[in-house]
């Protein structure tokens, strides 16, 4: 049966299996799971996006590991999975945001942007000649003073979350989020939760360079990326800093 499954995936179109599943979409979900995790947390005061960007070699510039992207002044996107695919979707999101400003003279709503991206993704699951996107996105931002947090998965389905993670160890991290999440938490608490979530089910500890973290404050509606020293403060506060320097990653991981 292994052989049959292998045959099944090597055709160039996403179609239904006898039990009604879209194999190429599910395999794309596997590609997401191969990527290091990203986390999003929505608080009453704003949205937090955080990403594990531990590198497979210390010779890689940390800043070049693209996990957090500014889509517009008021919207950030975290990704997990196939990096080159993520870059393409980010492009779509940025262009759409600019078009909205030009056409309507106002920032695009977070939900509108999310659904534009998921509709784009859906095309790649129904027509032949291309494969689905091997990436999941967390879209976070502020619309009319209200923090919003969405997921775009490889099937092109939009979901709104209070807190979520995409990528490796998704289930463990979700349990952690569900246990620790509190509707009343401050943005600062949100940052702490996001950072602690990234350390879940990971046998190593985080360094400030191994993490990207951004917030969109509900009041300012501005995407702000935290500097390393502030991240370090948070990690210290939560006792998440590594005791020793064992920050190696997988060698030549396919996802990232």
Q: What is the footprint of a copy of itself within residues 108-137 (CB under 8 A)?
A: 115, 118-119, 121-122, 124-134
Q: Which is nearer to a copy of itself, 212 or 235 (CB)?
A: 212
Query: Is 70 among the residues that bind a copy of itself (CB under 8 A)?
Result: no
Q: Which is nearer to a copy of itself, 180 or 233 (CB)?
A: 180
**3 state SS of 92:** helix
Those residues with Cβ within 8 angstroms of residue 177's Cβ, 6 or more apart along the chain or in another chain: 39, 41, 163, 164, 165, 193, 197
Query: Is 248 among the residues that bind a copy of itself (CB under 8 A)?
Result: no
Closest listed residue to residue 69, CA positions, set 43, 46, 51, 45? 51
- By CB atoms closer than 10 A (0-12, 13-18, 19+), residue 252 is exposed
Query: Is 92 among the residues that bind a copy of itself (CB under 8 A)?
Result: no
Query: Is 21 among the residues that bind a copy of itself (CB under 8 A)?
Result: yes
Angle formed by the axes of helices 2-9 and 23-33, nearest 10°: 90
Query: Is 22 among the residues that bind a copy of itself (CB under 8 A)?
Result: yes
Residues 187-226 vs a copy of itself: string with x where CB under 8 A? Answer: ----------------------------------------
Select from 17-25, 189-197, 207-215, 225-233 the region that touches a copy of itself (CB under 8 A): 17-25
Select from 98-106, 171-179, 192-200, 206-214 the region that touches a copy of itself (CB under 8 A): 171-179
DSSP letter (8 states) at residue 22: B
Closest listed residue to residue 57, CA positions, set 248, 253, 206? 248
Q: Which is nearer to a copy of itself, 168 or 191 (CB)?
A: 168
Query: How far from 59 is each of 63, 84, 181, CA to CA, in Å?
Result: 12, 20, 36
Select from 23-31, 92-100, 190-198, 208-216 the region that touches a copy of itself (CB under 8 A): 23-31
Query: Is 5 among the residues that bind a copy of itself (CB under 8 A)?
Result: yes
Q: Which is nearer to a copy of itself, 28 or 191 (CB)?
A: 28
∠ CA 50-54-60, nearest 5°, is: 120
Kindly report the three-state secondary structure assignment for every residue of 186-212.
CHHHHHHHHHHHHHCCCCCCCCHHHEE
- Which of 6, 102, 184, 246 touches a copy of itself (CB under 8 A)? 6
**3 state SS of 152:** strand
- Which of 38, 46, 82, 110 touches a copy of itself (CB under 8 A)? 82
Q: Using CB under 8 A, which residues numbered 25 to 44 contact a copy of itself?
A: 25-34
- Which of 52, 72, 85, 192 touches a copy of itself (CB under 8 A)? 85
């Amino acid at each position: 049966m292994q052989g049959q499954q292998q045959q099944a995936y090597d055709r160039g179109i996403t179609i239904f299996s006898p039990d009604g599943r879209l194999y190429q979409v599910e395999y794309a979900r596997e590609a997401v799971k191969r990527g290091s995790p990203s986390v999003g947390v929505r608080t009453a005061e704003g949205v937090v996006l955080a990403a594990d960007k531990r590198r497979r070699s210390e010779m890689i510039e940390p800043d070049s590991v693209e996990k957090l992207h500014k889509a517009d002044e008021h919207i950030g996107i975290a990704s997990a999975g196939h990096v080159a695919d993520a870059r393409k979707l980010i492009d779509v999101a940025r262009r759409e945001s600019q078009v909205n400003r030009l056409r309507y003279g106002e920032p695009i709503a977070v939900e509108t942007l999310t659904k534009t991206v998921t509709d784009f993704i859906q095309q790649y699951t129904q027509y032949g000649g291309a494969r689905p996107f091997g990436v999941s996105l967390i879209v976070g931002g502020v619309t009319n003073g209200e923090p919003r947090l969405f997921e775009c998965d490889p099937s092109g389905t939009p979901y709104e979350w209070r807190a979520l993670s995409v990528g490796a160890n998704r289930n463990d991290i979700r349990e952690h989020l569900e246990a620790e999440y509190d509707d009343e938490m401050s943005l600062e608490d949100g940052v702490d939760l996001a950072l602690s979530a990234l350390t879940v089910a990971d046998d190593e500890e985080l360094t400030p360079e191994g993490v990207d973290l951004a917030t969109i404050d509900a009041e300012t509606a501005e995407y702000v990326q935290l500097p390393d020293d502030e991240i370090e403060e948070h990690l210290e506060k939560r006792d998440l800093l590594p005791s020793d320097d064992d920050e190696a990653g997988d060698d030549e991981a396919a996802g990232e």
